Structure 1
Amino acid sequence: MGKPTGFLEYPREETIERKPLQRLKDWKEYTEKQPEDMLKRQAARCMDCGTPFCHIGIEINGAASGCPINNLIPEWNDLVYRGKWKEALDRLLKTNNFPEFTGRVCPAPCEGSCTVELAGPAVTIKNIEKAIIDKGFENGWIQPRIPHKRTGKKIAIVGSGPAGLAAADQLNQAGHSVTVYERADKVGGLLTYGIPNMKLDKDVVERRVKLLRQEGIDFILNTEVGKDITSEELKNQFDSIILCTGAQKQRDLILQGREAEGVHFAMNYLTQATKRLLNIEVSEPLIDAEGKHVIVIGGGDTGADCVATALRQKCKSVVQFGKHPKLPDVRSDANMWPEQPNIFTMDYAYEEATAQYGHDPREYSVQTKKLVSDQNGRLKELHTVQMQRTSDDAGNLVFEEIPGSEKIWPADLVFIAIGFEGTELPVLKEFGVEHKNNKVDAKHGDYRTNIDGVFAAGDSRRGQSLIVWAIQEGRDCARQVDLSLMGSTVLP
């Protein structure tokens, strides 16, 4: 695919980004539009590898390897190289309902499994994907696809994140009447109120939602199942129900001083920041980092988004704690291709913090010991100790404190970004759905719960995961629902 010798002739060219200090002045997306000649060169690097591991979509050691939605990557790379952008869009849309989302926020496990990476840097798959779908919208190639006939079947989807939207899109195209219930005031789940605007502009989300509405999907907002509408009402009105409520139960810190004023869950902070940007009234107390010492506990993407958000709110300082050691610059022997590479990278937020303060904000192997408040209950400092990873007598890895490494950090705001425990249980209890470890008990590939006619997909079923897994599950679940209703299915 592409040019047979392209991976030998052309080096990898990274996504062009706006200068860090420039983009800190606004909330716009941090990437720029990529030149077409550059994109064609990068597509030319896609080699004729025989077995394209980039779209195998499997899990190795608990992490995605290749594209879970099985994007036809070599095919659309070849078409981009040859300048056939509309044909590339057609191939992209065969497997991916929302390339404008994945092309912006997916961590690209496809690139970690790219065969070119065996001998050098991978093809810039994610960048090319984003360019294809953006060109599709720019040229008017993306138009409403209104089903020619309706089946008479009605389906309710609870939750409007990527899994719910993917299921809704597929089932609507199969001719069913789909209604999506969302407890928030906007469609999108974490696409809207979890991922900051500088990574995924909310106009991009709204554009897709408008298209889905034009195609016949109904969205009912500000409606919480079990509070504003009961499960029995939904069962009486709809032939099938899909629960796509996500994994929104945030993992908390059990720590001395946790009750201090100024300690918040990361997602609450990010949600409020987006609402303020969109001029939506915020009912909770204001969380603003301006002029404050900010500490983010948790070394993942959500923590990085908190760093970037605090920078834009003009914080006085920002530090991000991770419990693990700094990752290596190259793959270790235990992290072989085609696994997702666990290597050191500079996320957009860390580039911005480095440009602003002259150093990377991340601190590694840090254990928070306690939070300390002033006499008014306001957070004033945070106490930590450095950890080292060793092996016990049985050969198990354990973390031990390093004596004498205690440190006190000034802190006005602390954001807890240590992941999610699973889905919130009230909706599951409302339906009587069985669950284990805060996840719906439904098998992958079948998605049926113990309640007849009720299915589950996405993070509510599998736990905290990637946007591509959410889309994969939404699509696959839609197929099972169509099959159960019609006896056969037209969905891929």
Structure 2
Amino acid sequence: MAKQPMLKFVSVERETPEKRDADVRAHDFDEIYAEYAQAKAEEQASRCSQCGVPYCQSHCPLHNNIPDWLNLTATGRLEEAYAISQATNTFPEICGRICPQDRLCEGNCVIEQSGHGTVTIGAVEKYITDTAWEKGWVKPPAPAQEREESVGIIGAGPGGLAAADMLRRAGVQVTVYDRYDRAGGLLTYGIPGFKLEKDVVMRRVEQLEAGGVEFVLNCTVGDDISFDAIRGKHDAVLIATGVYKTRELTGPNAEAEGIVRAIDYLTCSNKVSFGDEVEEYLNGELNAKGKKVVVVGGGDTAMDCVRTAIRQGAESVKCLYRRDRKNMPGSQREVQNAEEEGVEFVWLSNPVGFTTGVIEPEGAGAGAGRVRQALVQRMRLGQPDATGRQSPEVIEGSDYAEEADIVIKALGFEPEDLPKLWNADGLEVTRWGTIRADFGTGRTSLDRVYAVGDIVRGASLVVWAIRDGRDCAAAILEDLAAPASVAAE
């Protein structure tokens, strides 16, 4: 009788890939986790209990067939494991790196509930696809037959790229428009290299290009080309812009020099990592070197900012968040990584204003209107709000000043007013400013105009954008085969 290759969680302990020492990794933007060796990947995959009802799969937005590709990995059938993984996920090597597995698949692993430690799903997923790239198993979209219909996609982020991949595989002609000089959106410019090295994103973009997807970059809709022009050129249009409008700080001097947006800060850092010359980095405006850095926020974007500041050589880095560690929205794994690298978290704290003054000696970034301090109120947690989380309350008389040479706003993102910016009459939005679209298909109020990802959901996860893009591509293919009047219903 053959030996049981799975269910080894009772004899094999959970073991994550080796993490580089904090003192070393804090000086570069390389990914911090090593790759599994084949034997270790097979061993860790063999810990899966092969549940009859796999909660890991049901709690994955893409409903990836996780138990199946864990079994195939454990038995050395990696090419088949990759095929199963790719069948439901356009970018498994990206999700394996940046998905908050502790809140999704791994956080719902059955053996975790039994005290044996969750299966390292994300690390195995990353190993499978990285191996597939090395072996040449990953192929560009190659439709069996070309179609005449074309689709214009506005936004080259994860949702737009996932839809582009699915549409090209069906033979549709696809053009992607994006405001940046490189495709990838958040994947390219919003996430630092220590979480997602940029060659991982660029090789996917290059593969889409090789498969026939056309990219029109440095193209801002509403300025360089009108929304109506895009609609006129294509049989269908997909809006996948994401959300980039920063939530603002309030209080005295909240607009002072040295108070910057997280997206500007991270984009600048990533451009520098590509080898670009960025004036705001060279003159010190978006460079934390030698500065006292204060980041305001508790989500994953805030974690990206504090860890980037450490790598840029900041004198000190503090993260202010108005709730406690337990109630923060960001990944606990990222908080731990940041603390290891030297970030100080100031929980239950909220800036209510800023002081400014002259920085001596005068030089790059110096001036009378630059931020010098964040004025902070101490908080405590009161009654739960509408979301069920405890609302922060001010502790009277607890104010203090936190020195700061640069303050980074990482309070979250809101949608831009696209109907106004694009002169898109009839494009309906919700009261939050997101585009009103069907979550299952992406259909909007305009005929054969679709929307997916954060511009519909609000700021969310990359894996949800991928899910939306894939689902919307299926709806577009269905509608292209139907009369326009039927598709609009």
Same fold (TM over 0.5): yes
Q: Give the CA deviation at 1:343.
A: 10
Let me know the Cα RMSD of the aligned residues: 2.4
CA shift in 2, pair 1:177/1:82, >3 Å = same
Cα distance between partner residues in 2 of 1:343 and 1:456: 26
CA shift in 2, pair 1:166/1:290, >3 Å = same
Q: Give the CA deviation at 1:323.
A: 1.2
Q: Secondary structure at the match of 1:193?
A: helix
Match for residue 388 of structure 1 among 365, 372, 380: 380
Q: TM-score normalised to the size of structure 1?
A: 0.89
CA shift in 2, pair 1:98/1:271, >3 Å = same
Cα distance between partner residues in 1 of 2:331 and 2:177: 40
Cα distance between partner residues in 1 of 2:222 and 2:332: 43
Q: Give the CA deviation at 1:25.
A: 2.3
Q: Give the CA deviation at 1:279.
A: 2.3
Partner residue, 1:419: 412
Does structure 1 residue 354 correspond to structure 2 residue 349? no
Partner residue, 2:170: 174
Partner residue, 2:332: 345
Partner residue, 1:460: 455
Partner residue, 1:215: 211
Q: Secondary structure at the match of 1:83?
A: coil
Letter in 2 for 1:77: L
Cα distance between partner residues in 2 of 1:110 and 1:311: 30
Partner residue, 2:80: 87
Partner residue, 1:446: 441
Q: TM-score normalised to the size of structure 2?
A: 0.90
Does structure 1 residue 363 correspond to structure 2 residue 346? yes
Partner residue, 2:189: 193
| Structure 1: unaligned runs, 5 residues or longer | 57-65, 329-340
Alignment of structure 1 residues 102-113 onto 2, 5 Å: 102-108=95-101, 109-113=104-108
Letter in 2 for 1:420: F
Paired residue total: 463
Contact 2:440–2:472 at 8 Å: present in 1 too? yes
Match for residue 435 of structure 1 among 429, 434, 442: 429
Q: Give the CA deviation at 1:139.
A: 1.0
Cα distance between partner residues in 1 of 2:304 and 2:417: 23
Partner residue, 1:40: 42
Q: Give the CA deviation at 1:36.
A: 1.9
Contact 2:244–2:413 at 8 Å: present in 1 too? yes
Q: Deviations over 1:116-153 (max 9, x none)?
A: 12112211111110000000001111122321311100
Letter in 2 for 1:300: G
Does structure 1 residue 98 correspond to structure 2 residue 91? yes
Q: Give the CA deviation at 1:350.
A: 4.6
Cα distance between partner residues in 2 of 1:343 and 1:271: 20
Q: Deviations over 1:334-354 (max 9, x none)?
A: xxxxxxx9898342x653553
CA shift in 2, pair 1:346/1:155, >3 Å = closer
Cα distance between partner residues in 1 of 2:369 and 2:329: 40
Alignment of structure 1 residues 49-64 onto 2, 5 Å: 49-56=51-58
Letter in 2 for 1:16: E
Cα distance between partner residues in 1 of 2:436 and 2:332: 36
- State, as a whole percentage, how many aligned pairs show the same letter: 39
Partner residue, 2:315: 316
Cα distance between partner residues in 1 of 2:88 and 2:106: 17
Contact 1:24–1:312 at 8 Å: present in 2 too? yes
Cα distance between partner residues in 2 of 1:259 and 1:234: 36
Cα distance between partner residues in 1 of 2:438 and 2:399: 46
Cα distance between partner residues in 1 of 2:339 and 2:383: 34
Q: Deviations over 1:396-452 (max 9, x none)?
A: 954322234322111000001011123452576433311111200111113111111
Q: Give the CA deviation at 1:260.
A: 1.2
Q: Secondary structure at the match of 2:352?
A: strand
